[in-house]
Amino acid sequence: MDVKILCLGVLSRGEASGYEIKKAFEEGPFSHFHQASFGSIYPALNALSAEGLVACRAQAQEKRPDKKIYSLTAKGRDVFTTALLAEPDHDRMRSDFLFILSFAQFLPPARVAALIDQRIAWYRESLERMEDCEAARCSPPGATFVRGMGIAVYRAAAEYLETNRDALIADVAEPEALVAE
């Protein structure tokens, strides 16, 4: 599942420029489980155009480069729905946060606390944005389902961190207590 298919997916929700597609991966509904940068989106869009999977309409703008608005062609929609039927690759997660926390015993307790507090704050902010998202009101069922799952998972993560924060800090602060036990 490469950037080209990702772009087709975004365009299936309505026409968009490269810049707007980037935003969908940066702040939009896909930001939590996929990402793409300008350096991959613009070439992908040109390739899709050459293959006839998207159509491009240039919108002239004053004092700015022309905005290129892309939309799916019938062929593009076909290719996209076919790609959706493929077996999904395994999820890939890379979390330096969890890796670092795995070695909490090598960190000053204050650092462990800061790391966890930052993360709780991040989850809470994300949850707020996800919960009162206007765009989500009239989203298709799949998008609503996925959004709900994100909320459930982030909430569980935040709650776990809040509940177990102090115990971990106590453990790394006095490791003798664990050995003595």
Partner DNA sequence: GGTTGCATGTAAATGGTTACATGATTGT
Partner DNA sequence: ACAATCATGTAACCATTTACATGCAACC
Structure tokens at 88: 């999904």
| Cβ closest to DNA, residue 53 vs residue 116 | 53
Between 89 and 176, CB nearer to DNA:
89
Structure tokens that stand for 66 in this block: 């022309």
12, 13, 15, 20: residue in contact with DNA (rule CB under 7 A): 20
The residue type of 102 is: S
Contacts of residue 71, defined as CB under 8 A and 6 or more positions apart, other chains included, come to: 11, 14, 15, 54, 55, 57
Q: With CB cut-offs between 5 and 8 Å by kind, which of DNA, a copy of itself, none does residue 46 bind?
A: DNA
Tell me the closest approach of the beta carbon of residue 143 to a copy of itself, in angstroms. Answer: 5
Residue 170's φ and ψ, nearest 5 degrees, are: -65, -40
User: In the bound complex, what is the minimum distance in angstroms from residue 75's beta carbon to DNA?
Assistant: 20
Tell me which residue of 150, 155, 139 sits closest to 31, measured CA to CA: 150
Q: Judged by CB, which is closer to DNA: 51, or 174?
A: 51
Quick one: what does residue 137 bind among DNA, a copy of itself, none, with the CB cut-off 5 to 8 Å set by partner type?
Answer: none
Q: Which two tokens stand for residue 56?
A: 């491009």
Candidates 13-21, 100-108, 129-137, 150-158: pick the segment binding DNA (CB under 7 A). Answer: 13-21
